[in-house]
Amino acid sequence: MKSAFTANGGDKLPPVADLRDWFRSEAGRAVALREVAVANELLQDLFGYHMLQVGSPYPDSLIGASRVGHQIVMDRTALSGPASVLGRGDALPFQSGAIDVLVLPHGLEFADNPQAVLREVERVLIPEGYLLLFGFNPWSLYGAWRLAIGWRGSAPWHGLFLPLSRLKDWLTVLGFEVDRSGGLSYRPPLHDAAQLAGLAWLERLGGHFWPFAGNVFWILARKRVMAVRPIRLTKARQLRLHATGRAEPSIQRNGMEPPDA
């Protein structure tokens, strides 16, 4: 039987609206501000013709500060806020190799098949295109909160918090090269603005001493395309190949290369 949170498209739809509401809370706004700051810093050095943000959990676009001219924000439930295209993360409505830079803010935590989402990301990116990904870190204060209250089914605690190391492995399998990664947000998810402000020192301390234990991690990865290099034959082997008209093995059973003469 399908989960009550599962839609025909394969995404867990109610958590999307819940997550958007959570990012409007005091704790959510504190995280969003940190994510926007990281995105602004990283995206200003990335160029191309087309930039895509998959998912719109914030009131504003994450990619607005980029200098890429054509910017698209896609949502999967409603065209609200900065979103201008309706679509799913596991079936992106774009042709292969069309996007120069893709930003994926928390698009894997609420997908039934996060690997399918990453495969779609790889498909639509151009060779050498960039992916900037944000995710909640299970090895953090937020991860501990999720273990304590995740059973309640409220955002973002009911999502699938994927470890940074696992995502790096998945990206490597898909042909990505991780350029940089890091963490952000080290305060507990408190709803009182005064208490959050009083713990601002944790941001400086955490960023310095345990950067990869942040409540959120980010990954900047590049889609690599392996170049095919032709095998160069020695002149003597080319002459033998031309004379016999058939290929010969280049390595003997003992692992030694046969002599050219």
Tens of pLDDT, residues 172-223 = 999 999 999 999 999 999 989 999 999 999 998 888 888 889 999 999 999 9
Question: pLDDT tens, 247-257?
Answer: 555 444 444 45
CA-to-CA distance for 79 and 89, rounded, in angstroms? 15
The CATH class of the 13-223 domain is alpha beta
Please report the pLDDT score of residue 153 as a whole number: 80
Please report the pLDDT score of residue 209 as a whole number: 84
- For 7-40, b/e burial (b = at least 16 CB within 10 A) is beeebbebbbebbbebbeeebbbbbbebbbebbe
Please report the pLDDT score of residue 12 as a whole number: 44
3-class SS of residue 186:
coil
| pLDDT higher than 70, residue 243 | no
Higher pLDDT, 221 or 149: 221
| pLDDT higher than 90, residue 17 | no
Q: How confident is the model at residue 260 (pLDDT cuts 50, 70, 90)?
A: low
Strand partners, 73: 53
| pLDDT higher than 70, residue 239 | no
Please report the pLDDT score of residue 238 as a whole number: 60
Would you list the domain boundaries of the chain?
13-223, 230-261
- Spatial CA neighbour of 121 closest among 71, 74, 161: 74
Q: Taking residues 233-243, what's their average pLDDT?
A: 60
Question: pLDDT tens, 65-108?
Answer: 898 989 999 988 766 666 788 888 999 999 999 999 999 999 99
- Spatial CA neighbour of 52 closest among 60, 41, 61, 40: 61
Please report the pLDDT score of residue 222 as a whole number: 98
Token pair for 123: 């498909």
